[in-house]
Chain A
């Protein structure tokens, strides 16, 4: 015991601490934003902390934040692999090709890429069915809006974001046929200034509900300043803006998955998987619905949440037409995962044009 400790210290001092000596499982995390974004990256970092908590001294975690999607990401992943990481979580869609490139060079290191679709013998993909949360959000938004105008701050026109818009719209429209969505694309995951500008523009256009698919709390602050606009926490609870303007939230809960995958690496049972979990599995959480929401709306929303969780109801249940009027889902038919994974069309009723 003492000898190993001495050896470890000596190795550290000599700058030789690599996998050969370390018995600890080393887990790396590559983040697209800062850990303090209060949204997407913050929740991934909570997952990292959960891994540390679960395994204590048997595990060592490292992370690099604010990593641009591109060659820089490839370098950061390579650096982690070189420094002896056994498992690396790459937590943004744009890291896809880089993850595969690095994985090819380090066949003994396991990689987990969030929200992507390309796998390899040592690359798994995982994502959450955020659209289930969007359904609950859409329901509350449709019931709460007085101007019948809902603003949506969208990041990139990728299937994940398009799914969210469609799901929110369908469920808002179900409870409020006059509802209209105004969508602004900001082409960033995290840029408080741009997000605040978008929120202000939407509010000026009459939106009294702001939904966001970006990671900062800037839209919350903009809504707070406007005074009569409600918002939803994105990725993280953003409860510092509760009970108003934030009336509920979608919470990404990566912790159980991260702990489970780290364990799999430790006991050698790690295999390539494609995970896509929703409210039922606990990967998507609905943050507490504040008392600014009328009790009956809250009840409805919670019922919807429970039905989604149990699988009794699917967020995309027909009849649903595509925006151009062509039929997509027949009455009672539910969307298959393949179509959802590559969703690149709006549903009928949305007036905006999807950037193509």
Chain B
């Protein structure tokens, strides 16, 4: 009989191994799914995982991995700090939108003046926009004890309405023939977050994501604040006795995650997306939650998880285009990945014991 025995300490080895094992099992189960759909499973897996990296057109897809992964990583890093301390910001999507609106708004206010100061100003506005939006659930939680999960999630829908209103009103392109959407920032040099080196996909948002990974690593490992965050998550009572101020921690964690989400929105709107439009947000804020957990809430893990997630998106699109796999099959495939990861978590916290029936109580 198989028995699960709780480990005294979560296994470090398994915690590192499970993402890898989850990916392998997903490939296997996904292969079965694709085979059931009448496709060659080996070819499908190759198209999804290999072609974007080493295929014929990898020169185009590799940079795209950074473009797609950048915002995911940036947002997930912010979320992971809060998640570690048990502070659940589910509304990164809304903060992402507000960052984009504030940042793009700041840039468009100066149109068509060209100045090197405009882009830095937009970055600050974007960060502040996301931060302010996250401060709403933070302050409400601190002052009135509201649930930050609900408040931050609900504010996503408020932000979406705000986005629609901005696309149709204040930020609407005056030369757009009445169609919704702002001016395209790609055509406004001072505000355009272009590729830093052409053909690499490396724009300021990707740079910011890498910096966030490093800073978050330093914070968690070398700084007292990082220690407090980890302590609060692992042993809240001990943290309280240890003098950790929960109010400040809530304000900090929600603030920083909002700020990073806002930055991600700003870099996206001023770069790859180019304009504020009603459909600007495509779910990065929610996918980043998956990325944060897939990366084990660890900065380096998140970096890898973000790139892996981007890979499944891009590879999935190629598989649709070249193998006619339905989009739903790709989504199931992505779902499997998270499912297996969470299911395998059991190995981190429990030990599997084969024991004779009724041996131990």
Contact = CB atoms under 8 A, between A and B. Distances in A.
B273 A159 contact: no
A179 B40 CA distance: 57
B345 interface: no
Interface in B310-335: 313-314, 317-318, 320-322, 324, 326-328
A191 B52 CA distance: 30
Contacts of A74: 272
Interface in B269-328: 272-275, 277-280, 282, 313-314, 317-318, 320-322, 324, 326-328
Given A65-B320, A83-B57, A71 B169 contact: no
Contact of B317 (A35, A75, A93, A343): A75
A117 to B, nearest CB: 6
A76 B317 contact: yes
A184 interface: no
Contact of A65 (B60, B165, B275, B326): B326
A65 B277 CA distance: 20
A70 interface: yes
A356 B282 CA distance: 23
B244 interface: no
Interface in A1-59: 15-16, 18, 28, 34-35
A295 interface: no
B317 A355 contact: no
Contacts, number: 98
A185 B318 CA distance: 34
B275 to A, nearest CB: 7
Contacts of B268: 71
A310 interface: no
Given A70-B279, A94-B277, A79 B57 contact: yes
Nearest to B51: A15
B327 A156 contact: no
Interface residues of A, number: 42
A343 B179 CA distance: 9
Nearest to A93: B179
A69 B277 contact: yes
A264 interface: no
B322 A71 contact: no
B177 A342 contact: yes
A192 to B, nearest CB: 14
Contacts of A356: 168-169
Nearest to B168: A355
A158 B67 CA distance: 29
A344 interface: yes
11 contacts: A15-B55, A64-B327, A68-B279, A72-B313, A79-B318, A94-B277, A97-B274, A342-B177, A342-B178, A342-B179, A355-B169
Interface of B: 55-57, 60-61, 64, 67-68, 160, 164-165, 168-169, 177-180, 184, 186, 268, 272-275, 277-280, 282, 313-314, 317-318, 320-322, 324, 326-328
